[in-house]
Structure 1
Amino acid sequence: MNDMAYGALLPETPREFGFFVDGAWRAGHDWFTRTSPSHDIPVTRIARCTTDDLDAAVAAARRAFENRSWAGLPGAERAGILLRTAEGLRRRRDEIAYWEVLENGKPLTQARGEIDHCIACFEVAAGAARLMHGDSFNNLGDSLLGLTLREPIGVVGLITPWNFPFLILCERVPFILASGCTLVVKPAEVTSATTLILADILAEAGLPGGVYNVVTGAGRTIGQALADHPDVDMLSFTGSTAVGRSCVHASADSNLKKLGLELGGKNPIVVFADANLHDAADAVAFGIGFNTGQCCVSSSRLIVERSVAREFETILADKMAKIRVGDPFDPQTQIGAITTQAQNDTIMGYIAQGQKEGAKLLFGGRALDLGRGHFIQPTLFSDLTPSMAVGREEIFGPVLSSFHFDTTEQAIALANDTVYGLAASLWTRDIDRALTVTRRVRAGRFWVNTIMAGGPETPIGGFKQSGWGRESGLLGVEEYTQVKSVHIETGGRTHWIAS
């Protein structure tokens, strides 16, 4: 008999998925069984594809691109399919959220909110498909007209991570499709279900066969083969900086494919003494607790003005103590399970290392025994030195390190004291200070008196070792295009060779 979790019926047997190539489902020959990180039961069986399966998917994407069944459509027709996909997501919102929770461990309320964002991504991309354009140069003389054309780059390989399986997928796919490209997607092996469900929704919306293909399996085999593939024109990868470097090497060693990389982060949240400290503390707690801290833009470095640092840390620790950690199907849960056992071990290892190095543990630091699954308390360290690993390295968990500063210059220096540059947040009532810090901190996304705000209209991406390129918005469509310069001459030619 099926077990229940806060009104949700847990699967009695794992749901089996094939993989999707050329508009059709294919059966797997070997399988990976995913166990729910919250409930310790098998929930999905995912095909372990072979490199032959990947070659078939790339070939299908290549045929679909070359026959122009997608790239040759007017932007208005592509937009129509993207809008129908958005409607499909609305109809199947509960189903997608259910499988996202089971495979990932995030709270159901969060998963539903993410799908709403995904719907918005398809709607924004639909508009972008109609607005994408080139330019003209009418200043080359009476006999010469110059044009620049934007053309889709071709076959795109897309490798997505396990922390936001559907959200990151939908921050890429609709914009790639809006550009006219075709896709081969390789989701994280432990969170493949919702990427495969999207294949169904896109097909129902009228997407031609071969435009969206999904191959599943391990990153070290299928992901690496996709990065190496000579017939893939561009690779979009979201994940660690270390694996991002391997993508750069793969591009150099194969066909110099273009790369879009969203990589690691150790993101600062700067709090000045004049800020509303209770608002800022709530934002800091949210910034490190959202998605259990398994978030590339999580605010994992608190940089707080020394004059209010102890007061602020007390307010913050009290906030963190009230965060509800539990079963993701419980509507009261704010932090769910750690997605994998390996990540759980990594986080606990960093907490132990922080204590060993002498950082002061102000709150948390413990694994929670809820009877099943793996859960970790939100954790706050203070009195760090710049060399401590817990304050420098990306932990990818709910672990926050607090640093103190005396001047604006020190705050900026601490914020920039990282190899990463993905996101940053700033809390102050002083508009001059806010603009100064915003303009000098090197980060691709910046929030002032808010955290993790915005929508798919604006681009996302990183500075420094946090990545290359931009996703979402019009720039997110242009990222997947090439620019062609065209010159058209009118009138007769002035001959080079005299008659």
Structure 2
Amino acid sequence: MDQLNNFLSPPAAPRDFGFFVDGKWQSGHDFFVRHSPGHGVAVTRTAKCSVDDLNAAVAAARRAFEDRRWSGLPGGSRASVLLRVAEILRTRRDELAYWETLENGKPIAQARGEIDHCIACFEVGAGAARLLHGDSFNSLGDGLFGMVLREPIGVVGLITPWNFPFLILCERVPFILASGCTMVVKPSEVTSATTLILAEVLAEAGLPDGVYNVITGSGRTIGQAMSEHPDIDMLSFTGSTAVGRSCVHAAADSNFKKLGLELGGKNPIIVFADSDLEDAADGAAFGISFNTGQCCVSSSRLIVERSVAREFEALLAEKMKRIRVGDPLDETTQVGAITTEAQNTTILDYIAKGKTEGAELVTGGTAIDLGRGQYIAPTLFSGVSREMAIARDEIFGPVLCSMTFDTVEQAVELANDTVYGLAASVWTKNIDKALTVTRRVRAGRFWVNTMMAGGPEMPLGGFKQSGWGREAGMYGVEEYTQVKSVHVEIGKRTHWIS
């Protein structure tokens, strides 16, 4: 497909994908057929791999790591490959966005923006490959010199989710590669296409065989086997806190592999009366509706100062009513389809639960019938108490619950009243309030008078039950390394045995 016009409707027949091991495409024997959540038609057929396929992929990654075909290269050589990937992604931007939209249901305009972010990830990863370094200690006396080396951890297993299949992949892959590691990737079985297309791109860019391998299949089979695999040195998992907990148990029961976990969130957006309320309303509407609310950092708990709560909720409701929900392949769509039938049911069940629990439905709260696909109107509940399920559970949909506060201390206490700590934002024109809240709310990512801003230079990750470790930027490269202390004696040894 060479022209954008070819990407504006679903394909006439589903595209078949194999899986990728040791630089070669492998044919599947059984397939998962993915139907577009926005159109209800089959768009891809992806192989259901076996544990034997996984073992072959891990063995290929191990060979590639041990013979140092990648880790033994200078950082500048690794950087050149990553920069070449960025160049190729630019030429295939529309194609990648098309398949991302078909499988996931997100708006095509959003998908293109995500590919742009992914290109930036590879460019930042290239710079990080050159800058990765250790340290030295010239403070051990004249007879001893100390060095600290950073070495790649080895074979990395990477499990990615269905909500941002390519973006989350690219917030990890270039930084893992910059560290010198090799990897085996398992995308979600419902959104595997772009992960497999990246295998083509990496090979074209000159990545050695065996460094990037893709195994497709279910989390229950392949994901669990990766968690338990004794020859995977580190596992990076993005998904629910419940599955993250099972990864911890599996790692402990196998080889004590290192884990990087980005898990759930129930993220607060704190709005003070002295903020620009129009800006804050737009930020809140964006924060809960972006990617149909299927976003681990979505702002799902509105904590608004009581004196302006009614005014603000009215502004916000008007914003949310004007959000364009529609066909993901329509350029003007802002909110697309819910990605899976199970998630669609979960969101609607939580909306019903919010009504039953006594919250006031301000806007939305219904499924939208567009003749095909599954869509939900952006939803705002008011009068929510912290005990309600919609205030405590990660709904993973376009459902925002509003609570009020009177003091800075109450706002902080409400914001921290969750088992999660992934992201948060505060809206105020008072620098003292902004800095106080930023420093006291426990979250790995924080935005002041903005929402979901920033680039791959900055680290990603959470506090509390939102995960372990950091991704992206130099922190994200260092996450995939081990630290080795080296001591060098200078001159003749002082003998212990006289």
TM category, shorter: over 0.9
Deviation at 1:10, TM superposition (A): 1.8
Measured in 2, the distance between the counterparts of 1:94 and 1:258 equals: 36
Question: C-alpha offsets along residues 98-122 of structure 1, whole Å, 9 cap, x if unaligned?
Answer: 0000000000000000000000000
Consecutive aligned runs of 4 or more in structure 1 exceeding 3 Å deviation: 4-7
Question: C-alpha offsets along residues 89-142 of structure 1, whole Å, 9 cap, x if unaligned?
Answer: 001001100000000000000000000000000000000000000000001010
Match in the other structure for 1:472 = 472
Measured in 1, the distance between the counterparts of 2:348 and 2:35 equals: 21
The amino acid that maps onto 1:123 is: E
What RMSD in Å do the two structures reach over aligned CA positions? 1.0
The DSSP-based 3-state class of the residue aligned with 1:64 is helix
Measured in 2, the distance between the counterparts of 1:208 and 1:28 equals: 23
Q: Is the 8 A contact 2:151 2:179 kept in 1?
A: yes
Measured in 2, the distance between the counterparts of 1:379 and 1:490 equals: 69
The amino acid that maps onto 2:38 is: S
Q: Counterparts of 1:180-199 in structure 2 under 5 Å?
A: 180-199=180-199
Measured in 2, the distance between the counterparts of 1:22 and 1:107 equals: 34
Go from structure 1 to structure 2 and tell me whether the alpha carbon gap of 1:130 and 1:7 turns closer, same or farther (over 3 Å shift): closer
Question: C-alpha offsets along residues 128-160 of structure 1, whole Å, 9 cap, x if unaligned?
Answer: 000000000001010100000000000000000
The DSSP-based 3-state class of the residue aligned with 1:300 is strand
Match in the other structure for 2:383 = 383
Question: C-alpha offsets along residues 148-193 of structure 1, whole Å, 9 cap, x if unaligned?
Answer: 0000000000000000000000000000000000000000000000
The amino acid that maps onto 2:431 is: I
Match in the other structure for 1:263 = 263
1:273 aligns with 2:279: no
Deviation at 1:71, TM superposition (A): 0.3
TM-score, normalised to structure 1, is 0.98
Q: Is the 8 A contact 1:5 1:329 kept in 2?
A: no
Q: Counterparts of 1:302-321 in structure 2 under 5 Å?
A: 302-321=302-321
Measured in 1, the distance between the counterparts of 2:160 and 2:5 equals: 28
Unaligned runs of 5+ in 1: none
Match in the other structure for 2:374 = 374
Deviation at 1:6, TM superposition (A): 10
Q: Is the 8 A contact 2:381 2:400 kept in 1?
A: yes
Match in the other structure for 1:410 = 410
Match in the other structure for 1:156 = 156
Go from structure 1 to structure 2 and tell me whether the alpha carbon gap of 1:497 and 1:65 turns closer, same or farther (over 3 Å shift): same
Match in the other structure for 1:236 = 236
TM-score, normalised to structure 2, is 0.99
Match in the other structure for 1:43 = 43
Match in the other structure for 2:442 = 442
Measured in 1, the distance between the counterparts of 2:252 and 2:246 equals: 10
The DSSP-based 3-state class of the residue aligned with 1:265 is coil
Deviation at 1:5, TM superposition (A): 10
Q: Is the 8 A contact 1:135 1:148 kept in 2?
A: yes
Go from structure 1 to structure 2 and tell me whether the alpha carbon gap of 1:251 and 1:378 turns closer, same or farther (over 3 Å shift): same
Go from structure 1 to structure 2 and tell me whether the alpha carbon gap of 1:227 and 1:7 turns closer, same or farther (over 3 Å shift): closer
1:80 aligns with 2:80: yes
Q: Is the 8 A contact 2:7 2:98 kept in 1?
A: no
Measured in 1, the distance between the counterparts of 2:136 and 2:233 equals: 27
Match in the other structure for 1:138 = 138
Measured in 1, the distance between the counterparts of 2:445 and 2:5 equals: 37
The DSSP-based 3-state class of the residue aligned with 1:339 is coil
The amino acid that maps onto 2:247 is: C
The amino acid that maps onto 1:42 is: A
Deviation at 1:7, TM superposition (A): 7.0
Measured in 2, the distance between the counterparts of 1:300 and 1:353 equals: 16
Measured in 1, the distance between the counterparts of 2:47 and 2:322 equals: 41
Match in the other structure for 1:34 = 34
Aligned sequence identity (%): 76
Measured in 1, the distance between the counterparts of 2:323 and 2:267 equals: 21
1:398 aligns with 2:402: no
Q: Counterparts of 1:175-254 in structure 2 under 5 Å?
A: 175-254=175-254
Q: Is the 8 A contact 2:172 2:472 kept in 1?
A: yes
Go from structure 1 to structure 2 and tell me whether the alpha carbon gap of 1:293 and 1:160 turns closer, same or farther (over 3 Å shift): same
The amino acid that maps onto 1:446 is: F
Measured in 2, the distance between the counterparts of 1:317 and 1:7 equals: 33
Q: Counterparts of 1:332-371 in structure 2 under 5 Å?
A: 332-371=332-371
Match in the other structure for 1:328 = 328
Go from structure 1 to structure 2 and tell me whether the alpha carbon gap of 1:5 and 1:207 turns closer, same or farther (over 3 Å shift): closer
The amino acid that maps onto 2:244 is: G
Deviation at 1:385, TM superposition (A): 1.5
Deviation at 1:238, TM superposition (A): 0.1
Question: C-alpha offsets along residues 55-86 of structure 1, whole Å, 9 cap, x if unaligned?
Answer: 00000000000000000000000000000000
Match in the other structure for 2:492 = 492
The DSSP-based 3-state class of the residue aligned with 1:189 is coil
Measured in 2, the distance between the counterparts of 1:112 and 1:418 equals: 33
Question: C-alpha offsets along residues 391-414 of structure 1, whole Å, 9 cap, x if unaligned?
Answer: 110000000000000000000000
Measured in 1, the distance between the counterparts of 2:105 and 2:7 equals: 16
Measured in 1, the distance between the counterparts of 2:137 and 2:276 equals: 51
Q: Is the 8 A contact 1:325 1:336 kept in 2?
A: yes
Deviation at 1:329, TM superposition (A): 1.1
The amino acid that maps onto 1:309 is: A
Match in the other structure for 1:111 = 111
Match in the other structure for 1:290 = 290
Q: Is the 8 A contact 1:5 1:330 kept in 2?
A: no
Measured in 2, the distance between the counterparts of 1:35 and 1:68 equals: 41
Q: Is the 8 A contact 2:11 2:43 kept in 1?
A: yes
Measured in 2, the distance between the counterparts of 1:413 and 1:139 equals: 45
The DSSP-based 3-state class of the residue aligned with 1:286 is helix
Instruction: Provide the aligned length of Structure 1 versus Structure 2.
Output: 495
Question: C-alpha offsets along residues 241-288 of structure 1, whole Å, 9 cap, x if unaligned?
Answer: 000000000100000000000000000000000001000000000000
Match in the other structure for 2:59 = 59
Measured in 2, the distance between the counterparts of 1:488 and 1:12 equals: 66
The DSSP-based 3-state class of the residue aligned with 1:190 is coil
Q: Is the 8 A contact 1:6 1:330 kept in 2?
A: no
The DSSP-based 3-state class of the residue aligned with 2:275 is coil
The DSSP-based 3-state class of the residue aligned with 1:304 is strand
The amino acid that maps onto 2:208 is: P
The amino acid that maps onto 1:146 is: G
Deviation at 1:9, TM superposition (A): 3.3
Measured in 2, the distance between the counterparts of 1:156 and 1:493 equals: 41
Match in the other structure for 2:300 = 300
Measured in 2, the distance between the counterparts of 1:64 and 1:249 equals: 28
The DSSP-based 3-state class of the residue aligned with 1:352 is helix
Q: Is the 8 A contact 2:128 2:477 kept in 1?
A: yes
Measured in 1, the distance between the counterparts of 2:378 and 2:385 equals: 21
Q: Is the 8 A contact 1:6 1:329 kept in 2?
A: no
The amino acid that maps onto 1:192 is: S
The amino acid that maps onto 1:151 is: E
